[in-house]
Amino acid sequence: MQKTEIASYLDAIELKPKSVYVVHEKLERSLPLHSHSKSQLTYVDGGIAYIFIGEKTYFIPARHYIWIPRGLPHYVKVRTSATITRNLYFYTEDDHTNTFYSKFGIYPVNNLLFEMIGFTNKWSGYIEKKDEGYNFMAAIKNILPQMSIKSFPIALPTTTNTKLRPIVLYMAQNFGQQITLDNIATRFGMGERTLSRLFQSTMNISFLQYLKLLRIVRAIEMILQDDYTTTEIAYLTGYNSLAAFSKAFFQVTNIRPSDFNKQNRQ
């Protein structure tokens, strides 16, 4: 996307603050880090996406939406050009009525909300109080606090640290191998204690916690692609048994991989 297109898109969001601005994108977006004065609901349809906020990367699974409060710097990346993002930028004059609107979160979409978000496909651009569809958009915003109680927990830290970044990239490319603190420290020429402290001080997470998060994020991607069985995914992500994989998956997501798979198929 050209700089002029980016500026035009961001200006359009801000132009009518009391409206709902609706954009259904069918191509990859390359918006840089940005923020705006509207609250944002983004539903990712037909693909895998990540949202970058501060020093963390949040994974957005299927049948989930992102709520981004006004003023929060962020950017979203999708994996394929076939992915559609349904973006609803809401007025904020009533955000004070519920603490939900001031907190970032990734929430599951039940059947009712799924149908309502899908129905917004008939509109694009500004929806103002005088327009058909405004009451429907307002209804979506009003029911979110009641429907969205528990946020999806996965946040994978990122880093620009020159010592740690090559290690993190290597782990991302080799997560299915038998990675240990010892063999990573040896490969990158440092002691185990030094490497352990580097993870903790730089990303506020232990080496093992980071490895577990990385593997579970990749496992979720594989589940959504629907190309492998749960047992195959367990071994492909570096676990030596289905039981060990299932335990780690539950610890991170609070749901069993088999149940998550069922939700995805539904």
Q: What's phi and psi for 171, nearest 5 deg?
A: -65, -40
For 188-227, write each residue's pLDDT tens digit.
999 999 999 999 999 999 999 999 999 998 998 888 777 8
Q: What's phi and psi for 25, nearest 5 deg?
A: -95, 130
For 98-133, write each residue's pLDDT tens digit.
999 999 999 988 889 999 999 999 999 999 999 999
Answer yes or no: is 7 within a domain: yes
How far, in Å, are 114, 144, 169 from residue 27 at the CA level?
21, 27, 27
CA-CA distance, 224 to 63, in Å (whole number)? 10
Sign of the C-alpha dihedral computed for residues 161, 162, 164 and 167 taken in this order? positive
* Shared domain check, 127 and 167: no
Angle CA(230)–CA(234)–CA(235) in degrees, nearest 5? 125
Structural domains counted in the chain:
2
Question: pTM of this prediction?
Answer: 0.79
250: domain CATH number is 1.10.10.60
* Shared domain check, 127 and 46: yes
For 46-92, write each residue's pLDDT tens digit.
767 889 998 888 888 777 899 999 999 999 888 766 678 899 999 99
Q: Give the structural domain span for 260.
A: 160-265
* Shared domain check, 142 and 166: no
